[in-house]
Structure 1
C-alpha cells in the first residue's frame, strides 16, 4: 500500500499531489507501525519534504501518533509545543516560564526527546539531565505525581509514544526535517485545551492555524519565535497567529509596548548554562533580558489561557510571583519530585 502512495507524493515538483485524509492515514499507519521498510519510510519523508506536507497529511500523522501514545488528562491547561531538535543560539525561556505559569494557577505540559535533526540543539531533556532528572528513566507514575502536585508535566515523548523511538534511527540517518517534526509536537499528552506552538517560517501560519482548528484546541497561539520555538523575542517584536473558534488573525507582540524590550547578551548555550540562567530567573536574580523575556512569555500565555484579562495584568502577576519566591519554590518542589539522581545544579 505504501508503494502506491509513494508514487503519488514522489512524482516530482509538478506531478506530486497531496494525499487526501484517508490516504494520509494509510501512509501514517504504515510508517508509525513500521509496516513499511526503512527505505520506503525514508523515501516518503523526503518526498513529503520536497512537496511540503498538507494539513490533512500532518493531521493524519498526529492522529496515528496519538493512538499509539499514552495520553491522560492529568491537567487541562496549556501545552507548550516547541521543536524537539532544541536550541543552539537562544535561551530556553519556556522552561522557567512553565513554573511561573504553574505558580499563577495555569497547569503546563512540556514534552521533548533527546536531540534530533536538523538542528541538533540543546533540548529540554538535556536541561533536565543537568538538573539531576533522567526523564527517560523516570517512571510514568513519578512524572504524573509531580504534575499533580505542582501543575508542571514533562513528558519524555519517546517513552510515552514508543513509535517515535522506533523511528529515531531513520530520522537520524536522513538528517533532515520530516513530517514527524511537526506531528510529534501535537500529540497533546494531557488533552490540553490551550496550545502555544512554535514555527520557523511565517509561510506556515495559515496551514498551522487550520491544523490546530481541525485538532479542536479551544485556543492556540502560533509563534514565529526564537529558533522556530514558541518563545517570544525580547529584543524585537514577534509575529504570532491567534486561533480561536475556527478563525485566525495575525498579532504582532512588541516587548517595547510593555517597556520590556532589552538587548540580549551573547551566551554559550550549553545545557549547564541553560539550566543556570533558568534557575537564576526563577530566583529573581537573573539578567534583566532573560527575566523580562520569561515574564513577557508567561504574561502572554496567561492571557491566551484566559487566566488574566490583559498582558499587563499578567506581567504584574508574574513579577509578584518572582519577587515573593513562589515560582522558585514550586520549581524546587517539582525538581525534587522528579529527580532520580544527585547532580550538580546552579543554586548558589
Structure 2
C-alpha cells in the first residue's frame, strides 16, 4: 500500500473516510517516519486524520513506529510523565517540581518534551532549562543519563532521542494544527516505564486513550484531564482522571479538598523565567501555597500510582514532609549542576 492509496481511504471527508486497519496504519506510519512519503502527502495525511479522528489501531501503529525509532534507556519501576509538547500558557508546570519530590521518595521519573509546537505554542521544559543556563548540553545523552543516575530525574529532548520527530517538525509548524503526533510522541516511553501519567485535553480522548494504553502494557497508567491538557491535576477544583490497570479503565475524580489542599491560584503572567522561579520557590518552601499544594497533590497521587504507598493520603503526607525537609531542593540543585557540567564538557 503506497501513500496515495492511504490518502484515498482516510481523505474522503468526515463521512466518507474509513479508519485504516492495523497493518495499513503500520505501513502509513513507516512511510511518514521514514519520510518516504512526500511532505505534501504527510501534511495531507495529518489533516485527513484530524478531520476523521484517529482510531485506536492507527494510534497503536504510530506509537510502535515512534518507539522503533527512539533511543530508549530502561529504568525499572520508573514513572513516565507525559505532558503536552505544545507547552503551557496559563498554568504552572507542577510535574517539573513534583519530579524532584518523587525522586527524593525513591521513584525514578522521566520527563520529556521539545521546543514549542502547535497548536498552543506555549512554554515548554526546554524553555525552562534554557532559563537555568542549560541549552545544547542537555542533548548529550551520556551526560543526561548520568544526571538521571545521580538524581533519579531524566529529561529527554524528544527530537534528539527520536530523530523523525525533529524531521517532521517543519510540516507540523506549517500546518499549525494538532496532528496524530501530538498524541503519539508522548508515548515513546524512553525509559520502558511501567507507570505512566498522561495528560489529555478533551473528554472525547478519554475512552480512546484508555483503550490505547491497555494495549501498551503499562502496569498502571493514569489519564488526567489536567491544566491545559497536561498531566497535572488541578488544585483549585476537582480533576477527571481514568485509572488504567489490569485491562480495565475506571473514572476517578481527584478533589483537592479531600486532602486539605484546595487552594485558589494567583493570577500570573507565565514566562519561562516565571516557571523556573515558581519551581525553585516551591522546592525551597517560599512559593505561594497554591503551587506548593499543587506539587504535593500531584506528587502524592503519583507515589500511590507507582505503588510506593497504599493511599494517596500517605503519598501526600510524605511529599509534604519531603518538601519541608528540603531534600527535593537539594536534589534539584544536584541535577542542575550535573546538567551544567554536561554542558561545559560538551563545549
The corresponding residue for 2:216 is: 215
Native 8 Å contact 1:74 1:144 kept in 2: no
The corresponding residue for 1:39 is: 40
- Paired with 1:55 and 1:151, the residues of 2 have a C-alpha distance of 33
Per-residue deviation, 1:75: 4.6
* SS of alignment partner, residue 195 of structure 1: strand
* SS of alignment partner, residue 14 of structure 1: helix
**Which sections of structure 2, spanning at least 5 residues, go unmatched?**
none
Native 8 Å contact 2:102 2:303 kept in 1: yes
Give 1:335-346 correspondences, 5 Å limit.
Answer: 335-339=336-340
Q: Deviation per CA, 1:119-170: give whole Å up to 9, x if none.
A: 0000011111101111565310000001111110000000000000000000
More displaced stretch, 333-342 vs 275-284: 333-342
The corresponding residue for 1:317 is: 318
Native 8 Å contact 2:76 2:194 kept in 1: no
Alpha carbons of 1:262 and 1:137: their partners in 2 closer, same or farther (altered >3 Å)? Answer: closer
Per-residue deviation, 1:76: 3.5
Q: Deviation per CA, 1:21-65: give whole Å up to 9, x if none.
A: 100000000001000000000000000000000111111111011
Native 8 Å contact 2:75 2:193 kept in 1: no
TM-score normalized with structure 2 length: 0.97
* SS of alignment partner, residue 13 of structure 1: helix
Give 1:292-307 correspondences, 5 Å limit.
Answer: 292-307=293-308
Native 8 Å contact 1:25 1:60 kept in 2: yes
Native 8 Å contact 1:135 1:156 kept in 2: no
Per-residue deviation, 1:341: 5.8
Native 8 Å contact 2:136 2:343 kept in 1: no
More displaced stretch, 202-211 vs 272-281: 202-211
- Paired with 1:288 and 1:322, the residues of 2 have a C-alpha distance of 12
1:61 matches 2:62 = yes
The corresponding residue for 1:105 is: 106
- Paired with 2:249 and 2:33, the residues of 1 have a C-alpha distance of 31
- Paired with 1:254 and 1:15, the residues of 2 have a C-alpha distance of 42
Greater helix share, 1 or 2? Answer: 2
More displaced stretch, 105-114 vs 70-79: 70-79
Please, what is the CA RMSD of the aligned residues? Answer: 1.1
Native 8 Å contact 1:69 1:189 kept in 2: yes
* SS of alignment partner, residue 197 of structure 1: strand
Alpha carbons of 1:121 and 1:238: their partners in 2 closer, same or farther (altered >3 Å)? Answer: same
- Paired with 1:131 and 1:310, the residues of 2 have a C-alpha distance of 35
The corresponding residue for 2:151 is: 150
The corresponding residue for 2:178 is: 177
Native 8 Å contact 1:125 1:135 kept in 2: no
Alpha carbons of 1:282 and 1:224: their partners in 2 closer, same or farther (altered >3 Å)? Answer: same
Give 1:1-348 correspondences, 5 Å limit.
Answer: 1-134=2-135, 137-339=138-340
Tell me the number of residue pairs that the alignment of Structure 1 and Structure 2 aligns. Answer: 342
Native 8 Å contact 1:97 1:297 kept in 2: yes
TM-score normalized with structure 1 length: 0.97
- Paired with 1:78 and 1:137, the residues of 2 have a C-alpha distance of 20
Q: Which runs of 4+ in 1 moved over 4 A?
A: none
Native 8 Å contact 2:198 2:231 kept in 1: yes
**Which sections of structure 1, spanning at least 5 residues, go unmatched?**
343-348
Alpha carbons of 1:270 and 1:193: their partners in 2 closer, same or farther (altered >3 Å)? Answer: same
Native 8 Å contact 1:49 1:178 kept in 2: yes
Native 8 Å contact 1:75 1:151 kept in 2: no
- Paired with 1:47 and 1:318, the residues of 2 have a C-alpha distance of 45
